[in-house]
Amino acid sequence: MALEVLTALDKAKTQWYHFTAILIAGMGFFTDAYDLFCISTVTKLLGRIYYYDSTTGKPGALPANVAAAVNGVAFCGTLSGQLFFGWLGDKLGRKKVYGMTLMLMVICSIASGLSFGHTAKSVMTTLCFFRFWLGFGIGGDYPLSATIMSEYANTKTRGAFIAAVFAMQGFGILAGGIVSLVISAAFNHAYPAPSFNENQIASTPTEVDFAWRLIFMLGAIPAALTFYWRMKMPETARYTALVEGNLKQATQDMSKVLEMEVATEPVKHESPMRKLKFGLFTKAFARRHGLQLLGTTTTWFFLDVAFYSQNLFQKDVFTAVGWLPGPGSMSAMEEVYRISRAQTLIALCSTVPGYWFTVALIDRIGRFTIQVMGFFMMTVFMFALAIPYYKLRGDKCGDSFCGGHHMTFIVLYSLTFFFANFGPNSTTFIVPAELFPARLRSTCHGISAAAGKAGAIVGAFGFLYLSQNQHEGQQEHGYPTGLGIRTALLMLGGCNALGLLFTFFVPETNGRSLEDLSGENEEEMSATPAALQDV
């Protein structure tokens, strides 16, 4: 039978504390999205400041290996953090390690802005060091925040609550856009500069070196403000009761935070973890949850290959619709302003609404339906972009494109983002926090998230090289020839289709308690020798 305190949690009415928990848990994802948004504008600026070469006649740009390091090192840190903190969250408890991840993000966000050095190499090396540890903290927040929210939530609205935590990324994107716009506009006003074509040196005033540092450091403020409240959160009742076996403490904690009386169980209850100790690397786990873990890891992997690769042709989209002129026609801060404005418009019109459509509908139509629909629509729109890609984009005319069907281009591009977020980008985060036993929940979510981040690395960097022009001399400076962006987009459509197929390994979790989904109710009722034979 289910424990009284867990039944009370499943049936609890939505209260103010649930919304407080969403805000506290979501700050890690706010910082994650803020950082990912800002880095694309900051890397352009870093190239102009530190890698200008007067002999090229072009604005400075980060060399291919440096750009890969600045962007990729945070992904590597995130992957490591997801695995490490996921395991630690099951070993020590969610609360004990939850503050570490947020403080690591705050410290490293500020330290990233303080990356000083006498040479371009030393500045980039210092920046990469702090970005790795920033990613490490962000990675830890994935399994911990998802697990904590799933274990606090009631059965009826659990999907919406976890989705709302993840949707804080949307606010992070918008905050990053607003901060970048305000700072770039302020610097443009305070230090007016001509375009690069008018005056190569004066187009990048020395003062703009402070702009990217401010953008990075301001992102730490919201996360720092929630640190105290994160430390005040009690351990989840499910961890305390099911893993630690302390029913009395679990009941006391939940009575306080949910402002309701929960009857203390009179019968001494031995933790299911002590009854059935099968771990992650056992036949018992493989038999019960092996296919589920395969489903959550592969779907997240294929999603992130496609999701992070969409940034590859972002500059083509912005240039095609006239939002982003050639770099030579802008000053350094004008480029930051225009890129920020374009990305904010995309986020406002497609990315952010997708998150909140999921929040509104996930407990009505279910996780499985949303994920299948999302992958299917992403596949359709990716092929719709890829097959007539050059016709949609138009022909190269100097620094821009002419001809083509630009509005169709931008609509199709926006819809891929919309159905990613009203689809697998949200559900792949939610489901791993619901399927697995409490003693392994954070670990399995961390493994699933790390598989996704491996896909992000493949998408952001493997496809960056793959999408280069196939004709020698026409690829971006510093890159070898590739297969071309149209071929790369067709392959991304294939990744979405694979994600759709592997979704059928993931069961529907809507409307069921965590203990029913994980099989812990069965463990509680019987601890037979047959169940223990694979330990």
Task: For 118-169, give the secondary structure using H, E and C.
Answer: CCHHHHHHHHHHHHHHHHHHHHHHHHHHHHHHHHHCCCCCHHHHHHHHHCHH
Tell me whether residue 393 is in a domain: yes
How many CA atoms lie within 13 Å of 419's alpha carbon, on the beta-carbon side? 21
Q: Do residues 20 and 229 lie in contact, with contact meaning Cβ atoms separated by under 8 Å?
A: yes
Joined tokens for residue 146: 């998802």
Q: Do residues 5 and 251 lie in contact, with contact meaning Cβ atoms separated by under 8 Å?
A: yes
Nearest 5°: CA angle at 352, between 346 and 353? Answer: 105
Distance CA 35, CA 215 (A): 9
3 state SS of 275 = helix
Tell me whether residue 164 is in a domain: yes
Tell me whether residue 174 is in a domain: yes
Domain residue limits at 169: 14-263+289-511
Residue 322 has phi, psi (to 5 degrees) of: 80, 10
Tell me whether residue 529 is in a domain: no
Joined tokens for residue 259: 């402002």
Tell me whether residue 308 is in a domain: yes
Tell me whether residue 273 is in a domain: no
Nearest 5°: CA angle at 143, between 291 and 81? Answer: 110
Distance CA 146, CA 134 (A): 19
Distance CA 459, CA 309 (A): 5
Q: Do residues 70 and 437 lie in contact, with contact meaning Cβ atoms separated by under 8 Å?
A: no
Residue 280 has phi, psi (to 5 degrees) of: -65, -40
Compute CA 127 distance to the chain's CA centroid, rounded to the nearest angstrom: 20
Q: Give the C-alpha distances (Å, rounded to integers) separating 417 from 25, 133, 164, 210, 390.
A: 24, 28, 17, 32, 20
Q: What is the CATH number of the domain that holds 66?
A: 1.20.1250.20
H-assigned helices in 387-462: 389-393, 406-421, 424-430, 432-435, 441-457
pLDDT digit of tens for each residue in the chain (535 aa)? 456 777 777 777 877 888 888 988 888 888 888 887 788 778 889 999 999 888 888 888 888 788 888 888 989 999 999 999 999 999 999 888 988 998 999 999 999 999 888 899 999 999 999 999 999 999 999 999 999 999 888 888 999 999 999 999 888 988 888 999 999 999 999 999 999 989 989 999 999 999 999 999 998 888 888 888 888 888 888 888 888 888 888 888 777 776 666 666 554 444 444 445 678 888 888 999 999 999 999 999 999 998 888 765 676 667 666 677 778 888 999 999 988 888 888 888 888 899 999 999 999 999 999 999 999 999 999 999 889 888 887 777 666 667 777 788 888 888 998 999 999 999 999 999 999 998 999 999 999 999 999 999 888 777 777 777 777 766 666 667 777 778 888 888 999 999 999 999 999 999 888 888 887 766 555 544 444 344 3
Q: What is the Rg, in whole angstroms, of the alpha carbon atoms belonging to the chain?
A: 24
Overall number of domains in the chain: 1
Tell me whether residue 306 is in a domain: yes
The 8-class DSSP code of residue 476 comes to P
> Given this model, what pLDDT does residue 273 score?
43
Number of H helices, E strands in the chain: 28, 2
> Given this model, what pLDDT does residue 216 score?
92
Tell me whether residue 219 is in a domain: yes
- Cβ burial 262-271 (10 Å sphere, 16+ → b, else e): beeeeeeeeb
- Sort residue 405 into left (φ over 0), alpha (ψ -120 to 50) or beta: beta
Distance CA 146, CA 153 (A): 11
> Given this model, what pLDDT does residue 475 score?
67
